[in-house]
Chain A
Amino acid sequence: MKSREYKQIEPRALPASAPPAPAAGKEQAQGGRARRKWEVFPGNNRFYCDGRVMVARETGALPVTLGLVLVTSGCFFIFDCPFLVQHLTGCIPVIGGVLFAFVLASLLRTSFTDPGILPRATPEEAADIEKQIDNPGSSSSSSYRPPPRTKEVVINQQVVKLKYCFTCKIFRPPRTSHCSLCDNCVERFDHHCPWVGNCVGKRNYRFFYCFIVSLSFLTAFIFGCVSAHLALRSKDGKGLIFAVQESPASAVELVICFFSVWSILGLSGFHTYLVASNRTTNEDIKGSWSGKSGAEETGNPYSYNNVFKNCCAVLCGPMPPSLIDRRGFLPTEDAPLSTAVEIVEMPASKNDVNMCTQGTKDLLESPSVSPILSASCPQAKPQMVSSAPPDSVPAATSSQGGRGHRSSPPDKRRPRRSRKRSASHNPAYIAPGSGLPPPLPTQATSSRRSSRKEPRRSSFTSLQ
């Protein structure tokens, strides 16, 4: 098995047809309903609302975060605001309300947004990269396990090493890292945050930053208001005990806010430093750009060497699109089958490749669950992620799809999945698939666009 994993894949050496091919084709034909891409997504994510909302498979402490925010703010509005409006000013619930709205909106955006996941390579791409790597010019050894593959590029007079991801079968772009919890390569990977239950990457970093800054303001605001409330109540010699007895919820809020404000303020400060120097938590913890020659600014090739410009680039830069197209439709099987096709494109083979070796996947998942809940936000995750060696995991663990999907009944899909799994047990061997001709990219493009923009961009389909 190991000797076959890194064998150069020759698409032209494939047989024209094989037993799994008609089986896979029939299965899809029997399905009838056009399936969306999120249903066969290979990473460790869950999708809701027909692919509109995505979270990591392990939601971690997201319910705890939500619960704490809702309970504390709820108690504040119910028990403290009436007294404070009476004795101080009516602006307090307004400011509190605005801060609460910001915290909730940015938390939900951070948790439910695609962090910048890179889709895995198609079999042809992977084969093309393998061909380039195995060129005589490369220095791969002939030992039974090839060394980790790297490619060097020069960015801003700085040499940057691009690593090959054995799971996704791509050379990771700069600043991209593979999250072992979500089993995805994420662009501009910052860290996997258990408190929001998702990775923080290129697409949701600004939401995450907004969340922690607004949360630190909210926590400090509630702390201040509750302190004022208790101080006002204990005035005129009545004492603090009397005040707490009159409003016990305030004491609870005080304790929660006191313990959270330090860590959240600290985290906000740390991320403000990262934003100002255009670094990620991952890079900072690994020490990628510091300690080289003492001049930290010149070490980081992505920094603009200007605090304002860095902040604007990170927080106000253009919003990149999601690359995984979760609501796009899978290519349908109504295109005419052609036996004369020599090289077959296999949209269904992605399912075959991805839906195998569930056993190794289970093995990987079980030790990764326990460190999540015990570790605090930024410190543990990058180390765990950076030390989790994707190249030590054999290529056979390219994940099985559809495991985390909740919106559709899993039973309907399980029998089909097990048939596919038994058919192709070696992911490096590209199954001949369903023998379908390649789909028309124009059709796929317009189906992707029209499915994504269904409610408002129907005129776009006329571009076809």
Chain B
Amino acid sequence: MATEFHNLHDLRQGTSLATKVFIQRDYSDGTICKFQTKFPSELESRIERALFEDTVKTLNSFYCEAEKIGGQSYLEGCLACATAYIIFLCMETQYEKVLKKISTYIQEQNEKIYGPRGLLITDPIERGMRVIEISVYEDRGSSGSSSSRSSSAASSTR
């Protein structure tokens, strides 16, 4: 069933959105951007735990790199202060560069791993960096409506 979808567009055409799973932020290290690696029960039948955890850990490491307070950010900050912050209008910050990398990574993950399993990760920046939203799709075939109803019943009794 899942192998029928060659790309995300096909996925969208032939399926219906069953539910959305939200991975919340993990604030145990302060206000830095970090997501919980706890495996949600709704995805148990859809994807291997290791793959999911690997994705979230990679995203966490990207955000950690973006928010790292080190030599480059100091240089950026001091240069910006010296130019009365006008330089921010012309220059792309370290954070923005890493956000582009994250966007590319999520797209790759969707195409290679999550799309074939009927899942779709939304870039956290689209949700204000609050959550990683994973949309779960069900096949819209003859058994589609019944399977999504049963999966929704299963997830509501969690």
Q: Complex: how many Å from CA A341 to CA B148?
A: 11
Q: Quick one: which of A322-343 are within 8 Å of B by CB?
A: 323-325, 338, 340-343
Which residue of chain B has its CB nearest to the CB of A103? B84
A155 and B30 contacting across the interface, CB-CB below 8 Å? yes
Query: Which chain A positions have C-beta within 8 A of B85?
Result: 105-106, 109, 206-207, 210
Query: Which chain B positions have C-beta within 8 A of A12?
Result: 152, 156
Which residue of chain A has its CB nearest to the CB of B81? A210
Query: Which chain A positions have C-beta within 8 A of B43?
Result: none
Q: Complex: how many Å from CA A342 to CA B16?
A: 7
Query: Which chain A positions have C-beta within 8 A of B93?
Result: 318-319, 321
Nearest 5 Cβ contacts at the A-B interface: A316-B77, A105-B84, A119-B128, A323-B128, A153-B27
Beyond A106-B85, A340-B16, is A463–B133 a contact (Cβ under 8 Å)?
no
Query: Which chain B positions have C-beta within 8 A of A444?
Result: 126
B77 and A315 contacting across the interface, CB-CB below 8 Å? yes
Q: Which residues of B contact A (CB under 8 A)?
A: 8-9, 12, 16-20, 22, 25, 27-31, 66-69, 73-74, 76-78, 80-81, 84-86, 88, 93-96, 99-100, 103-104, 107, 110, 120-123, 125-131, 133, 135, 140, 145, 148, 152, 156
Beyond A12-B152, A343-B19, is A319–B88 a contact (Cβ under 8 Å)?
yes
Q: Quick one: which of A171-213 are within 8 Å of B by CB?
A: 173-175, 187-188, 206-207, 210
Interface residues on chain A, size class: 35 or more
Rounded to whole Å, the gap between the CB of B15 and the closest CB of chain A is 9
Rounded to whole Å, the gap between the CB of A333 and the closest CB of chain B is 15
Q: Complex: how many Å from CA A119 to CA B68?
A: 24
Binary CB contact string for chain A from 134 to 167 against chain B (1 if under 8 A, 0 otherwise): 0000000000000000000111100010100000
Q: Complex: how many Å from CA A91 to CA B139?
A: 75
- Identify B73's interface contact among A128, A188, A318, A440, CB under 8 A: A318
Query: Which chain A positions have C-beta within 8 A of B148?
Result: 342
- Identify A160's interface contact among B9, B27, B88, CB under 8 A: B27
Please list 6 pairs of residues, one from A and one from B, whose beta carbons are closer than 8 Å in the complex, sorted by A's number.
A125-B22, A125-B131, A156-B30, A206-B85, A321-B95, A325-B125
Q: Complex: how many Å from CA A188 to CA B67?
A: 15
- Identify A318's interface contact among B66, B81, B100, B133, CB under 8 A: B66
The reply on A77 being an interface residue by CB < 8 A is: no
Query: Which chain B positions have C-beta within 8 A of A25?
Result: none
Which residue of chain B has its CB nearest to the CB of A11? B19
Which residue of chain A has its CB nearest to the CB of B72? A318
Q: Complex: how many Å from CA A187 to CA B31?
A: 9
B31 and A173 contacting across the interface, CB-CB below 8 Å? yes
The reply on A102 being an interface residue by CB < 8 A is: yes
The reply on A312 being an interface residue by CB < 8 A is: yes
Select the residue from A10, A445, A460 with max chain B CB neighbours within 10 A. A445
Beyond A343-B19, A444-B126, is A106–B95 a contact (Cβ under 8 Å)?
no
Q: Quick one: which of A419-464 are within 8 Å of B by CB?
A: 437-438, 440-442, 444-445, 448-449, 460, 463
- Identify A441's interface contact among B17, B31, B95, B123, CB under 8 A: B123
Binary CB contact string for chain A from 215 to 238 against chain B (1 if under 8 A, 0 otherwise): 000000000000000000000000
Rounded to whole Å, the gap between the CB of A448 and the closest CB of chain B is 7
Rounded to whole Å, the gap between the CB of A398 and the closest CB of chain B is 16
Beyond A128-B22, A318-B67, A463-B104, is A154–B28 a contact (Cβ under 8 Å)?
yes
Beyond A153-B27, A321-B96, is A445–B69 a contact (Cβ under 8 Å)?
no
Query: Which chain A positions have C-beta within 8 A of B28?
Result: 153-155
Select the residue from B9, B93, B95, B130 with max chain A CB neighbours within 10 A. B130
